[in-house]
A and B are shown apart, each in its own frame.
Chain A
């Protein structure tokens, strides 16, 4: 995608909102919305992106936008898209419009999973983007089913008898793949070309499309705010967050480091939420994380039929 061309496209989320400096969610949102020139109607689940962009009487959204509740961004969008379908058929709406939902991992992996699954299964022509910052950041860093094994959160604090979160991260993209929708992908904001190509494809296909995008969080992960894209990049290079897409049931790996695959510790070390794992007594936790990452990477390569 041509940067010069992109720079001419209208910003649909204006500056002046109250997201944290260095937040990946707004970078992701803007990139996704640059990826189509058609008008978009957006719903957003309760979360950082929602509360920080629409503090009444202000709004950062230059396009039609709606928030209803935490768990229903997908269901709400399915209603909007159906209304569009009917009203267009009746000749009451003339324009071509795209429909997009944003949700964090709390609103997508957890409380909104049923609403998302229903919307995908019914085949609505929408795009759902999860900005996955791996915990309930808006409410002050509580664990979600997306939080990595061993991470220190407010509800899984590391303590004398606990090393942090006791469960591995849910593989939501795989859950979504089970719906056999036209398009699903994992992406990262550090690779804007890949992310925007995927978003463009998501808008292009007829029927539901899902993007799961890693979204480093400065206060929740605990790293300097200028390192956001670096954190995203390391998640990909360690294969903790592989970049891949499933286009009409065809699995494709988009980045394969092969023998340059970095140990997952390189991604974890700069983050305060994993600090306690680098004490000698938690060595086995680190080993488990590496083993799990390797296993999921191996399974993914098999699905994508690459070495």
Chain B
């Protein structure tokens, strides 16, 4: 197929059109709105078969999504920032019911103060809710992750969050190659929900009161489900590649194999970082980028393997974890590496509220961490691009 000029939001909406879910409950919030505008037009033009519920809040969006999913429908939605925060209670319920659904999260800073631009505090705030999470670098990935994510969710029987950077990706226009509609349809197949409420001949009680005698076992099973989801990721990725010829992976290694120092990052920042890597590689510097695509389930074993033997690692977090030792990505990667070679590792918190990150800033990180190959790290957690 020929590439089309599409925004990230339009790319996601096109994935939704091709997936053609039965029910999409959604509520407007900047910068998610462009996804819903495009999808609403698809509904208005009759090119999709599902129904859009224009709910009165994100809390009701997630509630209706959970209801529709339990009824037996294939369900999708999208949100950002405070919308996701308002959903939080039901986000946790969705995963606890082992309900597959696919939600685009257009990453945006949380209030206060109110800010409409990109950072990852919204989806990172949901990192322990039992949702699977992928982060997209660009429009093409946003599109592909959505289609992948829908199938992944249904196979793993868990909900899936597809995160793309607010404005940077959602409103940036890039050439995007869409798959054929029929291929997407065939890849996904029919959704079959376990114990659907609409099976009135086999009634099920969903969401009972579960006390100290069973709750723990149920949570343990949920945890096991998330653990098993990592294997399912690889299976679905294989299927995806066989169908579309495009590779979905846990991470993308960008000149990491022979690198001594490596930046680990997610989302659109990786595009900028790749340019920097290209530039510095020409100068013969042994540096690389590890772009993490799958954040939940967290690939700790795989990270351990790929980062083994590195001298210095800098983890970039577009999110603050107040009162913790570094950002969420940093603490998890540091913990994953504890039992291996223990490379030197430090953290850069950047880009909060949409603060620009450019090539010079990323280059300055490489300059700094290369010094740590011989010198000691002074500050493990630094703030990049902020006036102090």
Contact = CB atoms under 8 A, between A and B. Distances in A.
B166 interface: no
A122 B72 contact: no
Nearest to A124: B53
B374 interface: no
Contact of B67 (A50, A71, A77): A77
B356 interface: no
Given A118-B56, A122-B53, A76 B209 contact: no
B51 A82 contact: yes
Contacts of B57: 114-115, 118
Contact of B209 (A39, A50, A65): A50
Contacts of B23: 79, 82-83, 86
Interface string B11-43: 000000000001101000000000000000000
Contacts of A85: 51
Interface stretch (A27-35, A55-63, A184-192, A266-274): A55-63
A265 interface: no
A231 B382 CA distance: 67
Given A62-B203, A83-B67, A86-B22, A41 B59 contact: no
Interface residues of B, number: 42
Interface in B48-81: 49-51, 53-57, 59-60, 63-73, 75
A78 B53 contact: yes
Interface residues of A, number: 46
A66 B25 CA distance: 18
Contacts of A72: 59-60, 63, 90
B183 to A, nearest CB: 21
A68 interface: yes
Interface string A184-208: 0000000000000000000000000
Interface string B173-206: 0000000000000000000000001111001111
B59 A80 contact: no
Nearest to B65: A79
A297 to B, nearest CB: 32
Given A77-B67, A79-B53, A115-B59, 9 more contacts: A61-B203, A61-B205, A63-B200, A67-B206, A68-B63, A84-B198, A85-B51, A95-B200, A117-B56
Interface of A: 39, 41, 43, 50-51, 54-57, 59, 61-69, 71-72, 75-80, 82-87, 89-90, 92-93, 95, 97, 114-115, 117-119, 121-122
